[in-house]
Structure 1
Amino acid sequence: MENLTDQSEQGRVRGATVDYLLHRVRQGILQGLYAPGQRLIEADLTREFGVSRGPLREALHRLAADNLLEIVPNRGAIVRRLSMREMLELFSIRIALECLAVQEGTANLSDQAIRARFETDIQPIWLPEQRVPSGDYIAENKAFHDAIIRASGNETLAVVTNQLQLPLLMFQLSKKLTIANIAASLNEHRSIAQAMLDGDATAAETRMRQHLERARSIAFEMPSQVFRAEPKS
């Protein structure tokens, strides 16, 4: 009986360690600490987090199942890098989903509690400071889009949108981020938000579509080596 108790406790400890590693490595990827295409060295991570290789490998395989990592034979875990086709397809899906979110979110802003939460969530977009290409801007960008999804009240939409890994996509595009196109993006955020607050769902949807289509067009200007090669048929 004592052995079973010990094994159960060891299982809980291991599970907590795996969950901790999942959170830390996922945040590292989504915050840009680990870049698309970067190999994650197990020895470095075990030393950094003070853990053994077993829980780390389990966490890395679970992140691979979430499409944040790729497990490559003889190379180990590599932060997933999108191909040009994958990136364009993700943008097409995002456009459809976020236009829906804008429509539903705008309708829901007639509820004062939802409106107050939305205004609080998007408050950073009104700050006048100039943004520069950085992880901070990518986090601000994600927070704005998340605020619209939250205002929609559509929980399934939130789950599906989260699976698209917006920050991962944005970090791969980060080589094309400039102060000028960040400023343009911020102005578009403000325009979308104002249309929603004004109750104009048609204008908000049009502006969201234009915003994401402009972001998608940036991919066409990027050098091919930024993208993962398409598998040969």
Structure 2
Amino acid sequence: MASTVAAKRRPQRTATPAPSARTRHAARGTRQRSPDAVVQTVKQGILTGHYLPGARLTEADLCSTFGLSRGPVREAMTRLAAEGVVMAGPARGLYIRRLRRQEALDHIEVLQALIELAARLACTRCKYEPSRGRLREAHARLAASLARGDSQRRSIERTRFYEVLFEVAGNPELARLHPAITGQILRAQVYPFLTAEDRSSQYADYAPLCQAILDGDVRAAVRIVGSHLGRSRKHALHLPDAAFESAAVL
């Protein structure tokens, strides 16, 4: 696509980054000291940008971070692999998943259907407080993170905005199906290859989407979601191969 930047060199596999103070605190403060703690902290690390697609996860580092033996850590990695969060790589290592181009397109197709349904339901069910206030607050926090240019906060608040959207839609099963982790993995893969204009166009959709839902305007909400995900689909189709995992390493 003309608006995307020139192809970049494929990012190299990287070792697990040193755990941040927040990550270490989360690991110690969750009571679990179990596979559950590892699973939840790795997922949270993806959502906050601590773990990037292609980052290697080593048993030794995870055992040290969580104060666990290898058994619980391996159990956690097995669960994360089954959920499509991590994948096997060279030298029998495990890495945060990177999506292939077709996987990205498949994910966007599913995501559009889910978000459009959530938006439809939210338009009819988000008529009273406190739901309206929660949606306004979620968008205000996202807008503030965008204005500050804080990429980590932006990632957290965008995830939270979608969580609130699915919550006010009032269907717990729909909220359970929302693939937040895969969505963040895809964003982390493609954003380095987008121009500032591309990113700005995506961010600009959140304000009118929030307002359409508050106005109960189903047509407008669905149109905005379709436009937003349609743009994502074009990016996935036209970005250079370096933005995606190659089938050869899977």
Question: TM-score over 0.5 for the alignment?
Answer: yes
Matches for 1:71-220 after TM superposition, within 5 Å: 71-72=88-89, 74-127=91-144, 130=147, 132=149, 134-162=151-179, 165-220=182-237
Aligned residues: 219
Supply the distance in 1 between the matched residues of 2:247 and 2:114 (Cα, whole angstroms): 25
**Partner of 1:141: helix, strand, or coil?**
helix
Asked whether the 8 Å contact 1:138–1:170 carries over to 2, the reply is no
Change (3 A) 1:131 1:90: farther
How far residue 59 of structure 1 moved from its aligned partner, in angstroms, is 0.9
Counterpart residue number, 2:74 = 57
The normalised TM-score by structure 2 is: 0.78
The runs of 5 or more residues in structure 1 that have no matched partner are 1-14
Report how far residue 165 of structure 1 moved.
2.5
Deviates more, 1:51-60 or 1:124-133: 124-133
Give how far 1:75 is off: 1.9
Q: Which runs of 4+ in 1 moved over 4 A?
A: none
Q: CA deviation at 1:78?
A: 1.3
1 CA distance for matches of 2:212 and 2:150?
26
1:80 Cα deviation from its structure 2 partner: 0.9
CA contact (8 A) 1:104 1:152 kept: yes
Q: Give, as a single letter, the amino acid of the residue that structure 2 aligns with 1:75.
A: R
User: What is the root-mean-square deviation in Å for CA atoms of aligned residues?
Assistant: 2.5
- What's the secondary structure of 1:70's corresponding residue? strand
Given the alignment of the two structures, is residue 43 of structure 1 paired with residue 60 of structure 2, yes or no?
yes
Separation (CA, whole Å) in 1 of partners of 2:153 and 2:142: 13
Q: Provide the rounded CA distance (Å) in 2 between the counterparts of 1:129 and 1:20.
A: 30
Q: Give the Cα–Cα distance (whole angstroms) in 2 for the partners of residues 122 and 188 of structure 1.
A: 11
Contact between 1:34 and 1:79, CA under 8 Å: does it hold in 2? yes
Alpha-carbon shift at residue 123 of structure 1 (Å): 2.2
Match of 1:56, SS state, is helix
Alignment partner of 2:49 out of 22, 29, 32: 32
Cα distance change on mapping 1:36 and 1:128 into 2, 3 Å = closer
| Aligned residues of 1:131 and 1:182 also touching (Cα < 8 A) | no
Question: Structure 1 CA distance, aligned partners of 2:181 and 2:34?
Answer: 26
Contact 1:132 1:179 in 2 (8 A): no
Q: Counterpart of 1:78 in structure 2: which amino acid?
A: Y
Report the Cα distance in structure 2 between the residues aligned to 1:70 and 1:130, rounded to whole angstroms.
Answer: 35
Query: Which one has a bigger Cα radius of gyration?
Result: 1
Deviation string for 1:93-140 (max 9, x for gaps)?
Answer: 111111111110011122333222222222224439635472322222
Aligned-partner Cα distance in 1 for 2:145–2:106: 33
Q: Percent identity?
A: 32
1:143 Cα deviation after fit: 1.9
CA contact (8 A) 1:131 1:179 kept: no
CA distance in 2, matches of 1:138, 1:77: 24
